[in-house]
Structure 1
C-alpha cells in the first residue's frame, strides 16, 4: 500500500462545532496517534485551520469536502441520503425540503466552505512546504441513449457540463480528486414544469440501458453500480482536454458485495467480480496515462475494510477485507487482497 486516505471528524475535534467552545484535546491526541501509526506503518474554516495547525506538519495532501455533488443531490433533491430533505412529491419519506432550490443553496455554501478552507491552508505556516489541497468530486460519465439522436447527444453534453464544467472551483485546488463509480445513459426527458428539481433542470433522463435495451456493463447484485471501465478513461481525457491536463488523483474506486445475511463468509471472500472490476479499470487507467498522457498520480481503492455505507448500512460491503460485525470486528482478507498484493509488487497489467 502506497497511500491511505481517512477522514477527520469535525465532531470529534470540535464537539460543539464552534472553536470558541474549545477544541477536544483527546480528539487531537487520537488523530496524532493515528497519523503517527500510519507513518510508522467561518465554522468550517476554523475547523480546517485547527486541522492544519495540529496535523499540517505531517500530512502532505488534504481534501476539504468529499463528494459535494452527492451531499447536495442525494441529500437535498432525492432525499435518499443524509440530510434527507426533498420535495414531498420526489420522495414521500422526506419531511421537508425543496428539490428545486435547496440543492443549489447547499452547493453554493459547500463551495464557499471549500474556498475558505483553502484560504486557511495557504495562510497556515505549520503545513508541510510541499503540502497540497483539493476537493474530491464524484463525476459521472454519460453516453447517449440513442447514438444517432442529436437530442441525446446534446443531453450528454449538458450532463457532463453539470458534472465537470466548474472553472472557479477547479482553480481553488492544487489537484483534482474524484471518485469513479458510475456511468449513465442520457436521454432527453419529458419534464413537468410545475415540478422543478435539480435533476430535471439538467434536461436529461438518467438510464442504465440504451435504446436497444443493452446495459452499460456488468452489474453487481443490487444493480446499483455497473462496471464501465471505458468511462474512466473518457472522464480523464475530458478533464485533460478542458483544463490543460491538471494533476488528478482517483480518490475512490470500487464495487460492492451485497450481504443480506444469507451468504457464508467464504462466499463473500471469493470476490471474483471485484478483482475483474479493478483489473479492467486499472487497464483503462494505464491507457489514459501512457497512451493519452493524462496526469494521474494516484488510485485509491474503496475500500480497505467493509464499513457503514450511507443508507445501505452494513449490508453493502466494498472492502478488500471482510469485517465480521458479530465477532469483535475481526478482519479476513478477500481474494482481491492477494490480487492487489501481486499488482502492487509491480507485476505488469496487460493493456490490450
Structure 2
C-alpha cells in the first residue's frame, strides 16, 4: 500500500534531530538566510475571523452570522464575529503593520456574501464588497506585499443553506463557480496566488460529523466525551455538547466532501481556461493534517497511522493528485463513498498548481476495530484510536487549546510524507501557529510575553528547513495568525496572533507581542532576540509605555 510504505520511510528516528522525547535539546535558531531568497514569508487570517462589519454595505448573511447569533451555546464563550477585530475598517493600518514586520505576503479570505449577498450572480453583486477587496489588494501591493486570496474559508451564504442545504447539494458547485469567477475577473489581475478551499476536512467533520460548526449536523452521543479520543481533534474542545439529531454521519460527510472537491475542480478549470494564461497566477487547495505516529511498532498500528492520514489529508489531496480517494477509504467506507464519473475524474485529477498545508500538531495512532453493531460514521470507518502519550511520555508539551500539543518534528515528517506520496508537489505551509489562553486578568504588557510562540515558530522553521534540504519543495510559510481573532467554536477564549488585540475596552488596538518583534528581526536578518534578554514591555498607567503600532 503506497501510503503506508511512505509512512514507514519516515517513522522512527532517522537522525538525532527527530527525537520524540519532549526533553529534546534546544533546536538551533534559524535565520532568514537559511531559506532561499524567493521563499515567501507571510501571515494569514480569514474573513469571518477578522473583518467584522457583518451587516454593512449590502453584505448578505453567512452561515456563521446566523449560527453564532442564533445558537451561541455552541461557542465556548457565547461570542460571535460580528465585530471581530474590525479589519473591514482598519485594513490600511493592518497593511502598515505587515509592512513594518517585513512580511512578503498576506493570506486573507474573500467573504462570499460580501461579493454575492444572495449567493449567486442572479441575485446581484455588492459593489461595496468588491471595492473593499480592491482597496485591500491595492494597499498590499502599494507596500510591496503579495496578496494570497482564499475563496472559501467556511462561510457559506445562509440563503443557499436554506434553499438546498449548501454543500449537501450538488447545486452548490454552480453557485460557487459564479462566485469564484467574479473574484477572478475583479481581482485576478493583481492576485497571483489563489486557494480554492481552506481545510475542507475541518468544515466537513465539524459541521457534519461533530455538529460543532454550522449547519451542526451529524452529532450523536458517541462523538463526545472520551469518544473524542477516536477523532484527530483540531479546533475542538472536549466536554459535554448539545447533541443534534439532524443528519446522517455515516453518509453526509462523504457527500459534502465530494461536492467540495468538485467545486474546487470546477473553479480550477474556470481559472485555467479563462484567466490563468492572461493573469499569470497559480491556484491550489489548502488542507490541514496532524502528523500521525504509530503508537507501537506493530503492523496494525503502522497501518492505523497511515489510515488516519488517508482519512484526514488523503481524503482531499488524493483525488486532486490521482483522480480518486485513498484505497483505505474505498475499502472501509464502501458504497457510501461517492464515485467520480470518468469526466469528473479527468476534471479533478491534476487540479492544482501547489498544495497548501496547515500544520499544528501530532498524535499517536493505534488500531481500533469498530465496535459490533455500531452505526457507520467517520470514526468507525477510520478505525483509529488517537492518543497524546506513549508509555506515559507526552508527544509534546500542551498549548492552551488542549487539542494542540507542540510537536515541531511533525511538520518535517508531514511534508516529507506529502512529497513521497503525492508526486513531489510544490508546497506552501499556509498556516502554522500556537495559542495562549485569553487571560483577562493579565495586563496588556504581561500579555505580550509569548516566548512559547517564538520557540514554536523557530523550531518548526528549523524542521521545515531540514525537509527542504532533503528535497521537499516548500516555497513559503504563513504564520497563523497575524492577529488574535475569533477562533470559531473557541470564540475569543484563545489567542493565536503575533499581535495582541485589546478586546476588553472595545478599542481593538493592535499591540505587538514579543513574537512580532522576533519576526521583524528574523525577516530583517538581524540576530534573533534571545528569550532571556527580551526587554520588558510596560503599560501606560505608571508602569512605562507599551508600544502601539496603531492608535484609534
User: What is the TM-score with the length of structure 1 in the denominator?
Assistant: 0.94
Question: Which residue of structure 2 lines up, in the alignment, with residue 206 of structure 1?
Answer: 386
Preserved CA contact (<8 Å) 2:521 2:527:
no
Q: Does 1:335 align with 2:522?
A: no
- C-alpha change, 1:190 and 1:338, in structure 2 (3 Å) is same
3-state DSSP class of the match of 1:6?
strand
- C-alpha change, 1:95 and 1:269, in structure 2 (3 Å) is farther
1:232-279 Cα deviation digits (max 9, x unpaired): 011111111122321000000000111142333222210011011101
User: Where in structure 2 are the equivalents of 1:1-352 lying within 5 Å?
Assistant: 1-41=103-143, 42-89=174-221, 90=223, 92-125=242-275, 129-146=279-296, 148-165=297-314, 166-170=317-321, 171-192=350-371, 193-210=373-390, 212-290=391-469, 292-325=470-503, 326-347=505-526
Preserved CA contact (<8 Å) 2:292 2:308:
yes
1:313-338 Cα deviation digits (max 9, x unpaired): 11111010001122421000000011
1:13-49 Cα deviation digits (max 9, x unpaired): 0000010111111111111011111111210000000
3-state DSSP class of the match of 1:34?
helix
- C-alpha change, 1:204 and 1:96, in structure 2 (3 Å) is same
CA distance in 2, matches of 1:86, 1:249: 32
Preserved CA contact (<8 Å) 2:284 2:355:
yes
3-state DSSP class of the match of 2:399?
coil
3-state DSSP class of the match of 2:464?
helix
Preserved CA contact (<8 Å) 1:60 1:128:
no
How many residue pairs get aligned? The number is: 346
- C-alpha change, 1:174 and 1:318, in structure 2 (3 Å) is same
Preserved CA contact (<8 Å) 2:358 2:430:
yes
Using the TM superposition, give the Cα deviation of residue 88 of structure 1 relative to its aligned residue in structure 2, in angstroms: 2.6
Preserved CA contact (<8 Å) 1:52 1:127:
no
What's the C-alpha RMSD, in Å, of the aligned pairs?
A: 1.7
Runs (4+) of structure 1 moved beyond 6 Å?
A: none
CA distance in 2, matches of 1:127, 1:20: 28
The unaligned stretches of length 5 or more in structure 2 are: 1-102, 144-173, 225-241, 322-349, 529-552
CA distance in 2, matches of 1:150, 1:21: 55
- C-alpha change, 1:173 and 1:26, in structure 2 (3 Å) is same
CA distance in 2, matches of 1:125, 1:187: 46
Preserved CA contact (<8 Å) 2:400 2:494:
no
CA distance in 2, matches of 1:87, 1:310: 17
User: What is the TM-score with the length of structure 2 in the denominator?
Assistant: 0.61
CA distance in 2, matches of 1:22, 1:343: 45
| Larger Cα-atom Rg | 2
Preserved CA contact (<8 Å) 2:276 2:282:
no
The unaligned stretches of length 5 or more in structure 1 are: none
3-state DSSP class of the match of 2:268?
helix
CA distance in 2, matches of 1:296, 1:128: 26
CA distance in 2, matches of 1:87, 1:312: 18
3-state DSSP class of the match of 1:5?
strand
Report the more deviating stretch, 28-37 or 160-169.
160-169
3-state DSSP class of the match of 1:82?
coil
3-state DSSP class of the match of 1:278?
helix
